[in-house]
Structure 1
Amino acid sequence: MRPLLCRFALALFSLLLMGCQVTSLSSSYVSTLSLNTLYDYQLSDAKQQPLTPIQAAVQLASFDVVMVGELHGHQGIHRFQADLFAALLQQPHPWALAMEQFSRDHQAEVNRYLAGELGEEQFIKQANAWPSYKSDYRALFMLAKEAKAPVIAANAPLNIVRCIGKFGPEYLQRLPAKERSWVAKQLTLDSDAYKARFMANRHHGQAPSEAQFAAQTSWDDTMAESINDYLARHPSQSVMLTLGRFHIKEGLGTVQRLQARNPALKIALIYPVTADEIETEPQAQSWMLKVAALPPARLTGEPLPTFSLGEPEC
């Protein structure tokens, strides 16, 4: 073989070998990534197979809705949400972002910011963004903005939810038509598994009331209705929803309410667990997002926090 041809063949062999090594390293990285910081995460599918966000996006491309649960304020989960949505935006068909963190009454402000008609400070103020917007959701929101992807302000307004919690679902009958439209048309008040799990929780030793459950499900039903209505208007799109993990635990809550409205929808759930919860938080029918354990909120003997949202103006 001529020297030049030999060198070319050797170079080609080296490139092929390098490609094999990169593939192997990538696979190894996914399966053995350690959770050294609060920014790290490990994703695995329902078969406990490790995946990168890019690999996950390929598998999720055929789903209508992907619900990504979160522990509010956990940096690793918020990093994953942005990584996954960036990968989903590379898929052939369009994706929209739905967020628990914005309520229906501020959809116009969300749209104005996406259109470049508001600066960030005015957007945060006018859209009543969560206090942690800059640290937790800015990167995710900016992905949608740069890609010109729709953002659905999916939730019910907090002030209305709090009044439901005080007076029960009957409070909705008092509202003017415009304000009533900010909450789902129908609330799921049946004694289902979700209600049983919610009522089993105790706050300061007290069981929740029926009115408090109505407030809870007003969030779930409103988010479910928001997504269902959006997909009815845009059947060629898919939606990724960010929300607290309680709303999707065991496939209940928002998941149930969306399936009841449209059983044909194909829904994927990604449920986060911290490294110290793996054995106590089994999640059937869910993908698992493993993240580092959070520091203890309180040490033994330290008092519980005392705070109040005050009386709602109803």
Structure 2
Amino acid sequence: MKNGIIIALLMIFSSVRSQSFKAYQFYDKKGKAVKTDKLVKELADYDIILFGELHNNSIIHWLQLKVTQALYEKKNGQIILGAEMFERDNQAQLSQYLNGHIESKNLKDSVRLWNNYATDYQPLVDFAKNKKLDFIATNVPRRYASQTAKEGIQSLNALSDKDKSYIARLPVNVTLDTPGYPEMKAMMGDHAEGTKVMNFISAQAIKDATMAESILKNRKPGKTFIHYNGNYHSKEYGGIYWYIKQKNPELKIAVISVFESDDPELDIPEKDYFPTEFNLVVPSDMIKTF
């Protein structure tokens, strides 16, 4: 009887130990699993990295930091950081913080920071500060994206020269040839007014085009520009990627796309999977930051 109980307990313990708990898995474009050391080695050869994210996913933010730190070592510090989460008209304050001229509290008081800044983006900003790296505020000020959604992209022509300096050079080409934009149109439904649909897409385009222009203006030969943005802004080679390639098709750009999965082994999803250079699969039940 005693031996039977011991054997039963060992079987239960063995079963528990055999369970797999994976937090993430990278794949290359061909579907081969990639270890992080190889990922970093390959990323070092790119001019630009568009690191997609799900804004509230804690493991992705942690991976952004770890990959950035590893790439810094691999490239001997020859990297530049930039992010959707900072808007162009806040660059001066962000640079003052990076240079040690203002404290963290002053930055929070003077910059439109996202609610999850402290947990998800401050570690990247502070890494840039400690390593004396450039960190570029790439996004359009949200007021201009909102104006575009309400009044159309043509309304931006009436802005002052100073205001226009925070936006991609006008006119911005808005077309449904851009990957992702037809999907946005479909999301609006068949009954949505044509003008309203195009204004909505134009608001997305002004963000994508501005971030692309910001990257192009601030990149430097020999350095890798790492840009952190919502997955939708670069998935399927649309958005930021598309606008960069319109201006400079010779640049070598790596897109890291993100996919959630219910599969505990984090195999490649069977549906809605469009691979880019690198593809990050994370558990759908990963702890969210908001």
Query: TM-score, normalized by length of structure 1?
Result: 0.77
Aligned to 2:248: 262
Aligned to 2:174: 189
The structure with higher relative contact order (CA 8 Å, sep 6+) is: 2
Aligned to 1:289: 280
For the structure 1 residues 294 and 124, does the alpha-carbon distance in structure 2 shift closer, same or farther, using more than 3 Å as the test? farther
Classify the secondary structure of the residue corresponding to 1:235: coil
For the structure 1 residues 79 and 206, does the alpha-carbon distance in structure 2 shift closer, same or farther, using more than 3 Å as the test? farther
Root-mean-square deviation (CA, aligned residues, Å) is 2.3
Aligned to 1:166: 150
For the structure 1 residues 108 and 292, does the alpha-carbon distance in structure 2 shift closer, same or farther, using more than 3 Å as the test? same
Figure out how many residues of one structure are paired with residues of the other and give that number: 260
Q: 2:208 aligns with which of 220, 234, 247?
A: 220
Contact 1:66 1:267 (8 Å CA) reproduced: yes
Aligned to 1:137: 121
Could you report, residue by residue, the CA deviation over 1:69-119 in whole angstroms, capped at 9, with x for unpaired residues? 111110011111111101110123510111000010011111001011121
Q: 2:134 aligns with which of 150, 165, 168?
A: 150
- Correspondences of 1:1-314 after superposition (within 5 Å): 34-35=21-22, 40-92=23-75, 94-186=78-170, 187-194=172-179, 195-202=181-188, 206=192, 209-231=197-219, 234-276=220-262, 278-294=269-285
AA aligned to 2:154 is E
Residue 294 (structure 1) shift: 3.5
Query: TM-score, normalized by length of structure 2?
Result: 0.83
For the structure 1 residues 125 and 65, does the alpha-carbon distance in structure 2 shift closer, same or farther, using more than 3 Å as the test? same
Contact 1:33 1:42 (8 Å CA) reproduced: no
Residue identity (%): 28
Q: Which moved more, 1:157-166 or 1:287-296?
A: 287-296
In structure 2, distance between residues paired with 1:33 and 1:77: 19
AA aligned to 1:284 is P
- The answer for unaligned runs of 5 or more in structure 2 is 1-18, 263-267
Contact 2:52 2:257 (8 Å CA) reproduced: yes
Classify the secondary structure of the residue corresponding to 1:90: helix
Contact 2:148 2:156 (8 Å CA) reproduced: yes
Could you report, residue by residue, the CA deviation over 1:268-310 in whole angstroms, capped at 9, with x for unpaired residues? 011111113922231233311111113799xxxxxxxxxxxxx
- The answer for unaligned runs of 5 or more in structure 1 is 1-31, 298-314
For the structure 1 residues 170 and 139, does the alpha-carbon distance in structure 2 shift closer, same or farther, using more than 3 Å as the test? same
Contact 2:59 2:286 (8 Å CA) reproduced: no
For the structure 1 residues 136 and 92, does the alpha-carbon distance in structure 2 shift closer, same or farther, using more than 3 Å as the test? closer
In structure 2, distance between residues paired with 1:92 and 1:191: 37
Q: Which moved more, 1:40-49 or 1:126-135?
A: 40-49
